[in-house]
Amino acid sequence: MEDKQLILALQTDHLKQNAFKNLVGAYKERLYWHIRKMVYHHDDADDILQDTFVKVFKAIDNFRGDSGLYTWMYRIATNETLRHLEKTKKRKIFSSVDNYEAFTKIKDHTFATLDADAIEIKLQMALDTLPDKQRLVFNMKYFDAISYEEMAKITGKSIGGLKANYHHAVKKIEKFIKDD
């Protein structure tokens, strides 16, 4: 079902429940992974995803179509994620003994000799040091390949500000990797 048809069905009372199931099926995985890049625990990402879909369900009647449906939901997911991070301040990637042991092994190697898993952990550690907004912009640009124009629509921030956040994030990640 195309987004236009889905939106019409979502805004029609007798079709809303079934259309919402289709919406969740179509977008839950993409939104989950967007959220998961910002919060490192599955349960937190799951809760935020659920909150996102609740907000989408409640607000769909007011959706004007100024942006694409996914862009609109992505923005809601982003705002819910930032709200969660602000509220809980859960920013530690390593909460278990196993992860701590992996971290201590990584510290004894140079970046060039790390395997793919170790590089991923090191990158996640570097991302964890970033302020939430820089991490969000970095994730959107680097992992999701979202243009600055689209990011501006999603976040409501200026393109110049987004570019500055990305630049600062890259410099901090480079410094983290170099210094570690």
| CA distance linking residue 148 with residue 166, whole number of Å | 10
Q: Which residues contact 134 (CB under 8 A, 6 or more apart)?
A: 165, 166, 168, 169, 172
Number of domains in the chain: 2
Strand locations in 103-160, DSSP E? none
Q: How open is the CA angle 37-43-46, to the nearest 5 degrees?
A: 70
Q: Are residues 86 and 105 in the same domain?
A: no
Question: Alpha-carbon dihedral of residues 152, 147, 165, 86, nearest 10 degrees?
Answer: 60
Q: Are residues 116 and 128 in the same domain?
A: yes
From 90, 112, 133, the end of a domain falls on 90
pLDDT of residue 165: 95
From 70, 90, 110, the end of a domain falls on 90
Q: Are residues 78 and 105 in the same domain?
A: no
Q: Which residue has the higher pLDDT, 4 or 95?
A: 4
Q: Are residues 104 and 83 in the same domain?
A: no
Domain hosting residue 167, numbered range:
93-180
The per-residue pLDDT for range 58-90, each reduced to its tens digit, is 999 999 888 889 999 999 999 999 899 888 764
The per-residue pLDDT for range 91-145, each reduced to its tens digit, is 444 444 444 444 444 444 444 455 666 777 788 888 888 998 999 999 999 888 8
Q: Are residues 128 and 86 in the same domain?
A: no
Work out the pLDDT band at 159, boundaries 50, 70, 90.
very high
pTM value surpassing 0.75:
no
Q: Give the mean pLDDT of 153-163.
A: 93
Q: Are residues 57 and 103 in the same domain?
A: no
pLDDT of residue 180: 66
The per-residue pLDDT for range 163-175, each reduced to its tens digit, is 999 999 999 998 8
Q: Are residues 98 and 31 in the same domain?
A: no
Domain of residue 19, CATH code: 1.10.1740.10
